Amino acid sequence: MNCNDPRALTNALRMPDSLWAHTATPRVDCPPLRASVNADVAIVGGGFTGLSCALHLAEAGVHSVVLEAAEPGWGASGRNGGMLCPNMKITPAELSARLGTEAGRKAADFSIASADVVMDIITRYSIDCHADQGGWLVPAHSPRALARLENIAREWHDVQAPIELLDAAQMQARLGSSVYYGGLRNVKGGKLHPLSYARGLAGAAAAAGARICANSAVRELQSDNGRWRVVTPGGAVLAERVLIATNGYTDDLWPGLRETVIPAHSFLVATKPLSDNLNGSILPGGDVASDSRRLLLYFRKDHQGRLLLGGRGSIAEPAGPQAFAGLRAQIKVLFPQLGEVEFDHHWFGRICMTRDHIPHLHEPAPGLTIALGYNGRGVAMATAMGKALAEYFIGHDASVLPFPLSEPRKIPLHGLRNQISAVAAAYYKVRDRLETV
Ligand SMILES: Cc1cc2nc3c(=O)[nH]c(=O)nc-3n(C[C@H](O)[C@H](O)[C@H](O)COP(=O)(O)OP(=O)(O)OC[C@H]3O[C@@H](n4cnc5c(N)ncnc54)[C@H](O)[C@@H]3O)c2cc1C
């Protein structure tokens, strides 16, 4: 069965509408699991984490089966802003305070190198996903935010991150917007078409020997004589190891895991392709940006000249186009030269937040590893995490992992997360606004 055949997706989760779904390279063949098979590693979730792990395992001759409930890239990986953001929101000093000096430095180094991992894969496998490493901007939305960014730049400099400070004029020239006060530029950042990249990863992994199964939601994990039986509606995989890589779409497959993280929605809108004039005035050099607000706004252009703006969405799934009105209004505040611009697309996806702002790695049972919680910065980091996990599975040496393995910890009052998140979002919005007056 070919996943390009719409009948293959009948009764399955369909790829949600988005700019990326309209402009991506074709799906790769990904027949659902319809038998009991053996593998070295069974991977639950076909996003960047799972697919990158499968690719790097296959490169080392280790056989894995990726079991994806919908299709590769269906989750956040195929819907995100496609921005390579190679340093974490949390600073090196905070990382060291939370993890210890050595582990903190390892985590910082990991995030700094993460965009290079993506670009290396894209180059080696000639993945057609409009990727470039032209830098990533963090514009300051207020003078106080600029002071914070200067401190952040100093810290990342100390660990050799390639970050430079831009003054207001330099930032304005790169953005084509005068609402910011200067900020940071990480020269290793960049952009890509996320769904084409996800499909390219899936294709590369499959060509290297991994088996990728779409429409294969994992319903049960059974421990079976030192191995794992990973059960889907159509079959099962008997494997030495299991990786759960379900991030913001984590369900109840592993008891209690859902309660260790906070899923949140990020919304995006995209204009119609800009006129030559506007194209030359907005992000003229093709930069990508995510600003300094606590509830940050992120923006870029796609390969066909549309302007995209993303930001934190409602807790509930959006009921219709009206839910995106705030972003449509905001884009004209940032770029008043747009005038009465028309919009092509709006869409959303689920990110996965952790309380300590650090991705989590767990191993709650022998042979079962869990990786999740990129806090909205997973395009580069999830790819690099998949690679590190593959190295760990091959060499059985946990020191290759970028973050320590930790006990899964349920978040207190998780049942009230929607209400708490709504209050927190309102509070951050007010603080962001107060800083600009
Ligand atoms: C709108 C949006 C914008 C973003 N923008 C950026 C950005 O510009 N830059 C950046 O760095 N990061 C960004 N992110 C974050 C980034 O996309 C994610 O961190 C990253 O894609 C996570 O990859 P993943 O493979 O871990 O998870 P996902 O891509 O979410 O994949 C998880 C998969 O698990 C599957 N699954 C769940 N349960 C099961 C089950 N029981 N059986 C089988 N499969 C299952 C789901 O179907 C899903 O496909 C954004 C996220 C969103 C939502």
Spell out the domain ranges in the chain: 6-80+195-261+356-411
For residue 290, list its beta bridge partners. 298
> What span, in angstroms and rounded, lies between the C-alpha atoms of 49 and 32?
20
pLDDT of residue 12: 58
116 lines ligand 1 (CB under 6 A): no
Grade residue 6 by pLDDT with cuts at 50, 70 and 90. very low
Q: Would strands 64-67 and 405-406 be described as parallel, antiparallel, or unpaired?
A: unpaired
| Cα distance from N-terminal residue to C-terminal residue, the chain | 58
Residue 63 CB neighbours (<10 A):
16
Buried b or exposed e, range 375-394, using 16+ CB within 10 angstroms: bbbbbbbbbbbbbbbbebbb
- Mutation test residue for ligand 1: of 33, 55, 74, 80, the one with most atoms within 8 Å of CB: 80
Q: Residue 339 is encoded by which pair of tokens? A: 């005038």
263 lines ligand 1 (CB under 6 A): no
48 lines ligand 1 (CB under 6 A): yes
E strand or H helix at 351:
strand 343-353
Q: What percent of the chain is predicted at pLDDT more than 70? A: 97
> What span, in angstroms and rounded, lies between the C-alpha atoms of 103 and 418?
32
Q: Is the pLDDT of residue 175 over 70?
A: yes
346 lines ligand 1 (CB under 6 A): no
Phi, psi of 397 (to 5 degrees): -120, 105
311 lines ligand 1 (CB under 6 A): no
pLDDT of residue 1: 34
For residues 44-66, give the mean pLDDT. 98
Grade residue 4 by pLDDT with cuts at 50, 70 and 90. very low
Lowest mean pLDDT among 72-81, 263-272, 387-396, 407-416: 407-416
pLDDT of residue 319: 86
Considering only CA atoms, which of 371, 390, 366, 318 is closest in space to residue 47?
371
Lowest mean pLDDT among 7-16, 141-150, 307-316: 7-16
Grade residue 130 by pLDDT with cuts at 50, 70 and 90. very high
Separation of 378 CA from ligand 1 center, angstroms? Answer: 8
> What span, in angstroms and rounded, lies between the C-alpha atoms of 231 and 121?
31
For residues 394-399, give the mean pLDDT. 97
371 Cα nearest atom in ligand 1: 26
pLDDT of residue 34: 97
Radius of gyration of the chain (CA): 21
pLDDT digits over 177-189, tens only?
Answer: 999 999 999 999 9
CB 194 within 8 A of CB 73: yes
Considering only CA atoms, which of 196, 195, 201, 218 is closest in space to residue 51?
201
80 lines ligand 1 (CB under 6 A): yes
In the DSSP assignment, the letter for residue 16 is P
Higher pLDDT, residue 304 or 316 = 304
* Burial of 161 from C-beta contacts in 10 A (0-12 / 13-18 / 19+): buried
69 lines ligand 1 (CB under 6 A): yes
> What span, in angstroms and rounded, lies between the C-alpha atoms of 305 and 178?
20
Q: Is the pLDDT of residue 412 over 90?
A: no
Q: Is the pLDDT of residue 58 over 70?
A: yes
For residues 378-403, give the mean pLDDT. 98
Q: Is the pLDDT of residue 209 over 80?
A: yes
pLDDT of residue 425: 77
Considering only CA atoms, which of 234, 310, 236, 231 is closest in space to residue 270?
310
376 lines ligand 1 (CB under 6 A): yes
Report which protein residue has its CA nearest ligand 1's atom 21: 77
pLDDT of residue 5: 44
* Burial of 162 from C-beta contacts in 10 A (0-12 / 13-18 / 19+): middle
Report which protein residue has its CA nearest ligand 1's atom 19: 378
CB 3 within 8 A of CB 9: yes
372 Cα nearest atom in ligand 1: 26
Lowest mean pLDDT among 221-235, 342-356, 397-411, 423-437: 423-437
pLDDT of residue 437: 67
For residue 239, list its beta bridge partners. 39, 228
Grade residue 160 by pLDDT with cuts at 50, 70 and 90. very high
Separation of 11 CA from ligand 1 center, angstroms? Answer: 22
> What span, in angstroms and rounded, lies between the C-alpha atoms of 287 and 136?
6
E strand or H helix at 207:
helix 194-208
> What span, in angstroms and rounded, lies between the C-alpha atoms of 247 and 402?
17
pLDDT of residue 166: 97
| Strand runs labelled E in 177-286 | 183-186, 190-191, 211-213, 220-224, 227-232, 235-244, 262-271
Q: Is the pLDDT of residue 384 over 70?
A: yes
Lowest mean pLDDT among 111-120, 188-197, 226-235, 413-422: 413-422
82 lines ligand 1 (CB under 6 A): yes
Separation of 172 CA from ligand 1 center, angstroms? Answer: 32
Average pLDDT, the chain: 94
What is the CATH T-level fold of the domain 6-80+195-261+356-411, as seen in this structure? FAD/NAD(P)-binding domain (3.50.50)
127 lines ligand 1 (CB under 6 A): no
47 lines ligand 1 (CB under 6 A): yes
CA angle 65, 78, 267 (to 5 degrees): 140
198 Cα nearest atom in ligand 1: 29
pTM: 0.95
377 lines ligand 1 (CB under 6 A): yes
> What span, in angstroms and rounded, lies between the C-alpha atoms of 191 and 363?
32
